[in-house]
Structure 1
């Protein structure tokens, strides 16, 4: 008998994260799942909703509360895993350009239901923990206290790099430059993930981040003119997109931003948000000898978005074996990074991350 999974979802429509993840778990999109989705809670139904038709097709219960989904089949046969997708849907924005998705509320209700029904199963939480660092820390502490295997983040860290390079080069990396695109928060989070997955391989593992500073518009380019950040590495990463050859984002990107991450050990990380210019996540890494490599994340650009296949496989493996694919501390740190970057963008000054220190060994 397959392991049984409950899905907690904000909105389920074509090409939403619920679609490209949960649809695979249902056996759609050419995917053969190792687990069985038995219950779904969907908070917002629209005229584009896919959940009800797919639930009817696959014999999945549509529940009216998160607790009902979490407790489906209990006490005789409890679920074996929970997938929480708080992405997409009609939710407000704050003054910092953050989308206020209810991931904290979803986690609170999920954990409360698990406690009431004596359930301890792995949880996947899509993307970053929360738009608020206090809330993110609460989620981290609560799953750790309960001993619950937890996986968060997105599909991007698990993509293949093109061209292939010797990963041992990253051990000596001192400057990491990521080119990203899309919304400053929504896709900037992916940029922070790419940065952290690279940077955590340096000698000494991850010892923490000292500060984050965000620059936008002309301020970004003026800082470039003052040689405050490595333009050459940005152009090296952009050169991996043939259609951008010889073009500079300064002249074409309407709303650029740069997130500058200063690590406690002196390592520097940069994420350039080049919306409506770049079209993929690419990066360049330089070591202490000024040698460098560049590559891009090989994501599927059309439906069914092949990079979500690997993510779905990793979710299933965690449900089956109880082992997340990376330390949860990476997910916590990338949450802190994007939240602090958005706040820095809002206040217009660098912000310390000393109070939100995260250190971890990526090999554990």
Structure 2
């Protein structure tokens, strides 16, 4: 099935989202396509139009009708099929923007919210099949809460020959310092430190690591096993130096938001006892790649409010480290500007018909989230033959937002 690549006209986009209220991901993403955003010293208006929108859950604070009133070319639709066909019997748009983050859905047996990424995908690709052609597809954040569905989404995108691009804004936002991970580097250990909880912000921490280490020598080779450490098990693993303290300190040295250990304020790192008092539910996912690389994703909610990264690179005397800048709109900022590079990379996909970074990255990080939650529930290391099979090469071109 040949993709329908737009040429010589403004692409028409269909939006398919779970909810559309202030500060939710759908609002951040769709608003940028509708109203534009600041980009590299200008106010940028995407050269494409959102012509239809499906919103799965309605409620107090909805914004989609106001957006439709201001953008009368955008039709509010009652079904995904109508959103893609515009009331005809065939696909009538040039690209699809899916944002299935947020909304309220049941929990899986392991406690992951069963957001309808895959259900949306099935309905959208059914229209592709019945129409005999496909269009570029953007999927915000993870692919699904179910591994088999994650894998099927990627397989179907290859079968129907359309670019599928997804993942977290952490992979494309500003970095402080502004530094790209060296291509073909030999990496011994990598680590990220972030905040938030499991089944949501853990995905951002995993993407922080993966967008870096996929650039190592040989590319991504797959992940053999994962083990989750939480609460008391986390502190025992910390004291046993299951992950490098030097890397953890290097990552934390890039943080802007470390909570001082003393009430009188200090720039020193908090002591272990102070960290324990600040962080009631610390989490670490540690996993081993097939080429021997050891990665650890850490969440220290209560001590930090940003995402940092560090890695040991052969031939470098000190760790490579940086911050993925995530200025959250809770008083520190108003615009959640880290969504701008996510949308800008989606624009490039819609215009060129080519994904800007491999969907296999999002497949792997989605699978790591699922496996990390399962490891926590089972209380042991989990072998991951499904993730060992996820092997790919990175886009050698850099896609993060320069400051």
Indicate whether the TM-score tops 0.5. Answer: yes
Given candidates 296, 302, 312, the residue that maps to 1:270 is 296
CA contact (8 A) 1:170 1:285 kept: no
Per-residue CA distance 1:124-183 (angstroms, 9 max, x = gap): 011111011111111111111000111011211012321134632871221101001112
1:137-216 → structure 2 map (5 Å cutoff):
137-165=151-179, 167-168=181-182, 171-216=185-230
Given candidates 392, 399, 403, the residue that maps to 1:360 is 392
Relative to the length of structure 1, the TM-score reads 0.95
Post-superposition offset of 1:74 = 4.5
Which position in structure 2 is the counterpart of 1:247? Answer: 270
Q: Structure 2: how far apart are the matches of 1:166 and 1:101?
A: 33
Given candidates 12, 24, 28, the residue that maps to 2:32 is 24
CA contact (8 A) 2:250 2:319 kept: no
Q: Structure 1: how far apart are the matches of 2:211 and 2:200?
A: 18
Which position in structure 1 is the counterpart of 2:324? Answer: 297
**Root mean square deviation, CA, Å:** 1.9
Which position in structure 1 is the counterpart of 2:352? Answer: 321
CA contact (8 A) 1:73 1:79 kept: no
CA contact (8 A) 2:256 2:306 kept: no
Stretch deviating more after TM superposition (306-315 or 90-99): 90-99
Post-superposition offset of 1:268 = 0.5
Q: Structure 2: how far apart are the matches of 1:131 and 1:9?
A: 16
CA contact (8 A) 1:44 1:89 kept: yes
Q: SS of the residue aligned with 1:120? A: coil
Q: Structure 2: how far apart are the matches of 1:291 and 1:193?
A: 23
Which position in structure 1 is the counterpart of 2:50? Answer: 37
Q: Give ranges in structure 1 of 5+ residues lacking alignment.
A: none
CA contact (8 A) 1:174 1:268 kept: yes
CA contact (8 A) 1:10 1:89 kept: yes
| 2:104 is the alignment partner of 1:90 | yes
Per-residue CA distance 1:192-232 (angstroms, 9 max, x = gap): 11111111111111111111110100101111212222123
Per-residue CA distance 1:320-357 (angstroms, 9 max, x = gap): 11011111111111111111111111111111112331
Q: SS of the residue aligned with 2:56? A: strand
Which position in structure 1 is the counterpart of 2:64? Answer: 51
Stretch deviating more after TM superposition (171-180 or 225-234): 225-234
Which position in structure 2 is the counterpart of 1:310? Answer: 341
Stretch deviating more after TM superposition (36-45 or 26-35): 26-35
Q: Give ranges in structure 2 of 5+ residues lacking alignment.
A: 1-8, 39-43, 259-266, 397-403
CA contact (8 A) 1:262 1:269 kept: yes
Give the helix-richer structure, 1 or 2. 1
Post-superposition offset of 1:241 = 2.5
Q: Measured at CA, do residues 64 and 178 of structure 1 come closer, stay the same or move farther in structure 2, by a change above 3 Å?
A: same
1:224-239 → structure 2 map (5 Å cutoff):
224-239=238-253
Post-superposition offset of 1:274 = 1.1
Q: SS of the residue aligned with 1:286? A: strand
Q: Measured at CA, do residues 305 and 138 of structure 1 come closer, stay the same or move farther in structure 2, by a change above 3 Å?
A: same
Q: Structure 2: how far apart are the matches of 1:74 and 1:315?
A: 26
Q: Structure 2: how far apart are the matches of 1:186 and 1:102?
A: 15
| 2:23 is the alignment partner of 1:9 | no
| 2:231 is the alignment partner of 1:217 | yes
Relative to the length of structure 2, the TM-score reads 0.86
